[in-house]
Amino acid sequence: MIEIHNVQKAFNGNPVLRGINCTFETGKCNLLLGGSGTGKSVLLQCIVGLIKPDLGSITFDGTVFTNNKVDIRQEIRRKIGMLFQGSALFDSMTVYENTEFPLKMLTPEMSKEERRDRVEFCLKRVGLENAGNKMPSEISGGMKKRVGIARAIAPNCTYLFCDEPNSGLDPATSIKIDELIHEITHEYGITTVVITHDMNSVVEIGDHIIFLHKGEKLWDGNKDQILNAKVPELREFIFSSSLVRAAKRVDEESEGGLEALANEPLSEV
């Protein structure tokens, strides 16, 4: 569990995070939801230690991260896996080498054989067991995200952060990537935080959703509660989504709505 207590951050006197209090629950996909410029990325950067909050504290499973000793902060960082927006693979390395990279950095005590077993396990888990020799330029955007996930979980992460995992993907591929993140989270009981402004993701994997607006947390709940939320800013956000507008139309014309759309079968990515 990650606990955020009264986190505040301003840039040049402009407040971006205005005292955020929230919890990212263990074994769940926690979605950080909000429109552009609401502070999602800044909060994520505060959590992983790339930005220092002006005020407040961040605690990982009871251990305070903010302002703690360097070795304690490093120990927590070693447990964090990151899936970056653009996948951020090393272009000059194969899929296998990209996945192996954090193991070489973070667990130098592992033998080459142990590393190989772990890389093969992770690539299989994300459905890329036959792609190890490929270069990033030879694989699709969806496959790159899969490599990014394999690389993030390779060192047995306890916390997984995904920065807009659907960016640049078509809707069907996005859903497959969401499903993979959701499955991995539940399978390994990790604490996953997904930055998104995608209502598809909310419907698919929103075990716990935190809605940010202008640097404030205005609502939290789960995917079954969100459509009935009373917060006007959240309702405006939800009902500006083309998915929800389409579902409303389906509801008006037939039965099913959102659920019908979510249950549509998808082909494999």
Residues that bind ligand ATP (CB under 6 A): 11, 16, 34, 36-42, 197
User: Nearest distance from residue 239's CB to ligand ATP, in Å?
Assistant: 18
Residues facing 81 on adjacent strands:
160
Instruction: Say how many C-beta atoms besides its own lie within 10 A of residue 140's C-beta.
Output: 12
The structure tokens listed for 173 are 């591929």
By three-state DSSP, how is residue 228 classified?
helix
- Numbers of helices and strands, H then E, in the chain: 10, 10
Q: Which is nearer to ligand ATP, 11 or 90 (CB)?
A: 11
Q: How far is the CB of 97 from ligand ATP (least distance, A)?
A: 29
Identify which of residues 197 and 208 has a Cβ nearer to ligand ATP in the complex: 197
CA 215/CA 19 separation, integer angstroms: 8
CA atoms within a 13 Å half-sphere pointing along the CA-CB vector of 128:
29
Q: Are 194 and 182 in contact (CB under 8 A)?
A: no
Query: Which of 127, 195, 122 has its CA nearest to residue 165?
Result: 195
- Measured from the CB atom, is 12 or 263 closer to ligand ATP? 12
Output the smallest distance, CB 133 to ligand ATP, in A.
Answer: 34
Closer Cβ to ligand ATP, 156 or 167, answer by number? 167
Question: CA 130 to CA 29: how far, in whole Å?
Answer: 28
Closest contact distance (angstroms) between CB of 80 and ligand ATP is: 18
For ligand ATP, which is the closer residue by CB, 14 or 137? 14
Rounded to a whole number of angstroms, the minimum distance from the CB of residue 64 to ligand ATP is 23
